[in-house]
């Protein structure tokens, strides 16, 4: 796939959603960090339901740390892997208090040093909270990048690295949202909605679905 096609793909996706937003509910970088940590192998909807109960009670590192692991578990037990997530969030709160003056760092290496924070979570926080031109590759973006031929790769890290290199700079800041939402609502895993797809004629997957 050449640069012109990639540019047109991003132009169409941006026209479809000119002001894309994260579907996780948050008001501060810390709330976003916790929500993204909780969202691993869980839906944004389930996370939002849990944090709607949690954040009015505790939405700072100090307040959540004061809950303790068991206290936090009581708010997030409807989310998959809640026990391990609670331990990681509490440990992260302690580190934020001790090392970062209770502020979420806007640095990749600092973020991935936090318990339970991997490259994907770090890049989401950098992009959404701090406006950095990063792309966090989740299952939706991994699928879209490979299906379209925009940035094929065998691993999420490989796809992320390639997407950052090949995505036109004018679209890089919001590319994460556009690709994620396209994968979530149109280029779905089992039944991609190719007839309604705004980039179907540019996509290398289209012949497989119409044959």
Q: Round to whole Å and give the CA distance between 98 and 107.
A: 17
Closest to 74 (Cα-Cα) out of 98, 90, 61, 95: 90
| Residue partners of 134: CB distance under 8 A and separation at least 6 | 108, 123, 126, 127, 164, 176
**Looking at 45, 138, 154, 169, which residue is catalytic?**
138
138 is catalytic: yes
Do residues 180 and 134 lie in contact, with contact meaning Cβ atoms separated by under 8 Å? no
**Looking at 106, 120, 191, 208, which residue is catalytic?**
120
Sign of CA dihedral 153, 155, 159, 161: negative
Give the H/E segment covering residue 92: helix 82-99
DSSP tag of 74: H
Give the H/E segment covering residue 43: none
Length of the chain: 211
Cβ neighbour number for residue 40 with a 10 Å cutoff: 18
Assign 53 to helix, strand or coil. Answer: helix
Residues labelled catalytic: 120, 138
């Amino acid at each position: 796939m050449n640069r012109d096609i990639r540019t047109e793909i991003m132009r169409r996706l941006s026209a479809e959603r000119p002001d894309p937003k994260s579907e996780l509910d948050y008001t501060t970088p810390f709330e976003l960090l916790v929500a993204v940590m909780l969202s691993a192998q869980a839906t944004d909807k389930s996370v939002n339901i849990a944090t709607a109960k949690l954040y009015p009670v505790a939405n700072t590192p100090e307040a959540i740390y004061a809950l303790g692991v068991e206290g936090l578990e009581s708010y997030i037990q409807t989310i998959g892997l809640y026990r391990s997530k609670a331990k990681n969030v509490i440990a992260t709160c302690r580190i934020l208090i001790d090392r970062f003056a209770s502020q979420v760092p806007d640095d990749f290496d600092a973020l991935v040093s936090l318990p339970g924070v991997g490259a994907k979570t770090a890049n989401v926080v950098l992009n959404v909270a701090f406006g950095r031109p990063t792309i966090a590759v989740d299952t939706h973006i991994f699928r879209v990048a490979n299906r379209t031929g925009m940035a094929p790769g065998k691993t999420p890290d490989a796809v992320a690295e390639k997407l950052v290199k090949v995505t036109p700079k004018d679209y890089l800041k919001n590319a994460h949202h556009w690709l994620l939402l396209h994968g979530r609502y149109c280029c779905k895993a089992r039944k991609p909605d190719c007839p309604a797809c705004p980039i179907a004629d540019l996509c290398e997957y289209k012949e497989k679905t119409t044959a």
